[in-house]
Structure 1
Amino acid sequence: MVMNAPQRYDEYYFDEVDGFRLVWQPFSVVGLVVLNPESAFLFDLVDGNKSFTEILGLCQKNDKAITQKTVMRILRDLESAQIIYWKQPRRVKIDVQHPKTLGIWMHTTNQCNLRCEYCYIHKTTANMNLERGKQILSKILVNAKEHQFEIVKFKYSGGEVLLRFDEAMELVRFGKDKSQEIGIESQHVFLTNAVLMTLKKAKAIKEAGVRVMVSLDGPEVYHDQVRVFPSGKGSFQYVWRGITYLQLAQVPFNVSITVTEKNVDGIPELVQRLLEEKIPFVFNFFRENCEAGSDLMTVNEHLVSKMKEVYNIIEDNLPPYSMISGLLDRVSFGFPHLNACGVGRNYLVINQKGDLASCQLEINRKIGSIDDSDPIQAMIDGNFMRPKGLTVDQKKPCNVCLWRYVCGGGCPLLTNSIKGRYDLSSPYCEVYRALIPDLLRLEAKRLIRYKF
């Protein structure tokens, strides 16, 4: 290596997209970078052996009009994008920084008006009463402040949260007042099937500053195979009516799509409609659980084929905003990470009684109580992964995969359920590896189209 010569990092992913160069470096906090031909030419000259003077000479040989100032500016831009470095590589210390946001899954009720085939909740009449809910909110907000979290994001779920609408709205009001009193930010989200949504409820939700996530799993013929009433009747028309009310009230919401073998063929058609309606959406892949029906796991090849169809539809209807971190189950490009979720670190499930769990799929596996002196410490100590503290760098063959810091190794519970161990790659590993390059191309095309 030549002293003071710009150098490359060890790992990259490259692609050519519409005359531009896509560059992605797994340790970068900047994320995907798109280079125009001039910048790509200069990037190709960087090898750790050429001094700046040599690089300048080669650039001027290629383009006599280019100046020293321009070459230095481009090199500095490449350095800022974290795809080259001068003296020491800028390697982010992944997951070392304390997370700012604590996620709380508020399980408000075991009751539900639907009987979705993949649901993990055993339906009973048990509810979270209002006073217990307020105790939970108050305790968590104080405890989060003690643990130096800046934001607490409460997700109200069930069962069906709209069955407890008045109580949930009162908890939101209480939580907002309490967080202001304590000096910590709180955010509130309702996770709902939207069947019971009315325009009056939607307007109240809008006024309260609550976001909404609606479960919708396909066009009618597919959705109604998995999301049904106790009678067996499909729920699609009722869900879409609820979505219409949310639109009319201008409530910020998105759609959560759970992909199973029963609805995967209908996902492209659903995505087309959501894009036309300008409704944002995210994908979740089915996870086995003891309450779910059988034969819901998709065959990986089938899943990849249908998701590629989805990405082609999105490419033809690209929105100006980024969708990249919601289009592939546990894959997120927001920041390099060692785990697929916040289990044991910044995510906690609280059931209707105030019992603590690490994950909603493990809601009956108690790790503590809201009455404990330090529920967040119980969250940390109750991490179910074995060995405790397991990260993607300790999984095989994840530890040598280029994509390990965007998928985090996938859902650990699913891996253990299917493979009997936590320290192996996800059952969806082949899907991630096949589709992540397509996601990067999609994001590059968006950046190019909207002039990044």
Structure 2
Amino acid sequence: MNPPGRPALALSASDIGDAQELLVRSCEDCACPPSGGESERAEPELDGRPLVRTPGVLELPVDAEHVALFSPSGNGGVVVLNTAARAIFDLFTRACSPDRAMGFTGGDTVLRKLLAHDIVHPLGAPPSQQLPKSHELTAWLHVTNKCNLRCPYCYVHKSGESMDSDTARESVTALVRSAVDNGFTSLRLKYAGGEASLNADVLLGLHEYAVEACTVAGLKLSAVLLSNGVAISRRLAQELKRLDIRVMISLDGIGEAHDAQRPTLTGKPSAARVLTTIDKLCAEGVPPHLSITITSRNVDAVAEVVRFGLDRDLTFSFNFFRDNDCASAFTDLQYEEQALLDGLRAAFGEIERTLPRWSVLGSILDRGQLLRPRSRTCGVGDDYVVIDQRGRIAQCHMELEDAAGDIRTTDPVLAVRDPARKIKNLLVDEKAGCRDCTWKNWCAGGCAVATFRATGRFDVRSPNCDIYRTIYPEAVRLEGLRLLAHAGRTPG
């Protein structure tokens, strides 16, 4: 029994206000995972049945008095326990009655948290992972093929061609109709390119039309502009604010590290202009999300970008370089595994020094997120559609030229779901090396296109598998520290 005056304490994300809004997904430059944040938590029943510790629970010291727990076989969420609550957890190393916990001050609350997060479970009833079905259709709208940068890792074959207003409206019409016909309740639009801000008038008109079309169809609508941050004017920033269009800015370093992989068309630096744009967006009330693409050229500079974001209370996400045809001429982009891990740990150190209110579980692990379990890494081949500047449909923006149809003649969702299409976004249980992995429903085997590029197969694990498995525990510990910093802390 715990000493008087030292109650058992368990903290989770629900103890922080606006918990769901503080979950950030690393999907802005990619196909999103199934929609939603952490799984919804039903209030668990304490019905007297014996409880037992769930096998495989990850247990990490956060400091001298607290541990963070995460159940890979559960439905997500980290729980932090103080020493008294840890003693309750230890009671269930073997099955025993929940009444054993009631001798502790706060024992009932602690036990309910452990049950809700699948840390313990009723004897004979192990956790059942709730693999989400998406109700949101996500569409990458390639509003222009033009760009003012020449990034070596980009996967788009650039040209001077842009989407016109007619194609933009036809694309929205097709997407709204397809979303309704295929049972979606919301539509998420990603305005991309090339550099989408170079076709700002069409983009803004497209969005206003989408607002009207979604209202008529009864669909929720959200949108984000994916930009390199070089050409966003103050007027455009104000319009983005007015229309509630979020912004993602690619920032790969502060100064030379950014310029090394994001130069202008004439080979000049772009970092200073991007930093000016970020300040401009913040001043106009449109704080951008920062997307950090990690290659061998900037792996030592990621921590500096993280520091920059934390100092301005900006969210950010990590994206590991993915080989592609356009980048094949650049042999120095692929990172060495140990160098990447060292760079990530330096970035994690910055996060630990200034813990954000928002959770990093969905943003610092590339495609391997820890917000909720899933059977596929992303929505390619299911709830993700790419439409190019001509109105052609593709499964993935990394395979933009592999057309699956045209918005004027084809249902976009049915086009990308066609089993004859090139990309096979398999279930994780269909991938060799994944079926028996503790983390299989968290990384879901990694990006299908990147895996095929590296191995020639879709039915094998990601080449980043060892990286994911190494950094997962470190991310769980960071989440534990965040909970202590922002959900409250009681000594003991």
Partner deviation per Cα, 1:61-80 (whole Å, 9 max, x = no partner):
xxxxx47xx54443333212
Q: Distance in 2 between matches of 1:164 and 1:432?
A: 37
Q: Distance in 2 between matches of 1:148 and 1:308?
A: 42
**SS of 1:325's equivalent?**
coil
Superposition map of 1:4-403 within 5 A: 4-18=49-63, 19-52=65-98, 55=100, 60=103, 66=104, 71-86=107-122, 88-95=125-132, 98-292=133-327, 293-382=330-419, 384=421, 388=424, 390-403=426-439
Asked if the contact 1:5–1:48 (Cα under 8 Å) also holds between the matched residues in 2, the reply is: no
Structure 2's unaligned 5+ residue stretches are 1-47
**SS of 1:186's equivalent?**
strand
Structure 1's unaligned 5+ residue stretches are 61-65
- Whether 1:432 aligns to 2:468 is yes
Partner deviation per Cα, 1:81-101 (whole Å, 9 max, x = no partner):
222222523412424xx3121
- Distance of aligned partners of 1:373 and 1:262 in 2 relative to their CA distance in 1, 3 Å threshold: closer
Q: Distance in 2 between matches of 1:215 and 1:71?
A: 46
Asked if the contact 2:191–2:223 (Cα under 8 Å) also holds between the matched residues in 1, the reply is: yes
Deviation at 1:29, TM superposition (A): 2.6
Partner deviation per Cα, 1:163-222 (whole Å, 9 max, x = no partner):
100110000111011111111011111111111112121111111111010111101111
Deviation at 1:262, TM superposition (A): 0.8
**SS of 1:284's equivalent?**
strand
Asked if the contact 1:356–1:368 (Cα under 8 Å) also holds between the matched residues in 2, the reply is: yes
Letter of the structure 2 residue corresponding to residue 202 of structure 1 = A
Deviation at 1:52, TM superposition (A): 4.2
- Whether 1:411 aligns to 2:447 is yes
Asked if the contact 1:396–1:425 (Cα under 8 Å) also holds between the matched residues in 2, the reply is: yes
Partner deviation per Cα, 1:236-255 (whole Å, 9 max, x = no partner):
11111111210110114211
Report the TM-score when normalising by structure 1.
0.92
Q: Distance in 1 between matches of 2:116 and 2:487?
A: 19
- Whether 1:446 aligns to 2:482 is yes
Letter of the structure 1 residue corresponding to residue 227 of structure 2 = T
Deviation at 1:360, TM superposition (A): 0.5
**SS of 1:28's equivalent?**
coil
Q: Distance in 2 between matches of 1:447 and 1:225?
A: 37
**SS of 1:196's equivalent?**
coil
Q: What is the aligned residue count?
A: 437
- Distance of aligned partners of 1:145 and 1:444 in 2 relative to their CA distance in 1, 3 Å threshold: same
Q: Distance in 1 between matches of 2:58 and 2:427?
A: 22
Letter of the structure 2 residue corresponding to residue 402 of structure 1 = T
Letter of the structure 2 residue corresponding to residue 363 of structure 1 = L
Identity %: 33
Q: Distance in 1 between matches of 2:293 and 2:144?
A: 21
- Distance of aligned partners of 1:120 and 1:71 in 2 relative to their CA distance in 1, 3 Å threshold: closer
- Distance of aligned partners of 1:436 and 1:49 in 2 relative to their CA distance in 1, 3 Å threshold: closer
Q: Distance in 2 between matches of 1:74 and 1:114?
A: 53
- Distance of aligned partners of 1:222 and 1:295 in 2 relative to their CA distance in 1, 3 Å threshold: same
Partner deviation per Cα, 1:230-289 (whole Å, 9 max, x = no partner):
211111111111112101101142111111111111111222122112222111111111
Deviation at 1:368, TM superposition (A): 2.1
Letter of the structure 2 residue corresponding to residue 36 of structure 1 = N
- Whether 1:422 aligns to 2:458 is yes
Q: Which has a greater percent of helix?
A: 1
- Distance of aligned partners of 1:205 and 1:219 in 2 relative to their CA distance in 1, 3 Å threshold: same
Q: Distance in 2 between matches of 1:265 and 1:17?
A: 26
Equivalent position of 1:63 in the other structure:
none
Q: Distance in 2 between matches of 1:109 and 1:345?
A: 24
217-226 vs 78-87, greater mean Cα deviation: 78-87
Letter of the structure 2 residue corresponding to residue 302 of structure 1 = A
Deviation at 1:124, TM superposition (A): 1.1
Letter of the structure 2 residue corresponding to residue 37 of structure 1 = T
- Distance of aligned partners of 1:384 and 1:15 in 2 relative to their CA distance in 1, 3 Å threshold: farther
Deviation at 1:391, TM superposition (A): 1.6
Letter of the structure 1 residue corresponding to residue 472 of structure 2 = I
Q: Distance in 2 between matches of 1:295 and 1:125?
A: 28
Asked if the contact 2:196–2:203 (Cα under 8 Å) also holds between the matched residues in 1, the reply is: yes
**SS of 1:143's equivalent?**
helix
The alignment yields a C-alpha RMSD, in angstroms, of: 1.9
Asked if the contact 2:278–2:287 (Cα under 8 Å) also holds between the matched residues in 1, the reply is: no
**SS of 1:291's equivalent?**
helix
- Distance of aligned partners of 1:192 and 1:301 in 2 relative to their CA distance in 1, 3 Å threshold: same
Q: Distance in 2 between matches of 1:47 and 1:316?
A: 34
Partner deviation per Cα, 1:310-361 (whole Å, 9 max, x = no partner):
0011100111221221112112222101122111121111111111111100
Q: Distance in 1 between matches of 2:363 and 2:126?
A: 29
337-346 vs 301-310, greater mean Cα deviation: 337-346
Asked if the contact 2:287–2:314 (Cα under 8 Å) also holds between the matched residues in 1, the reply is: no
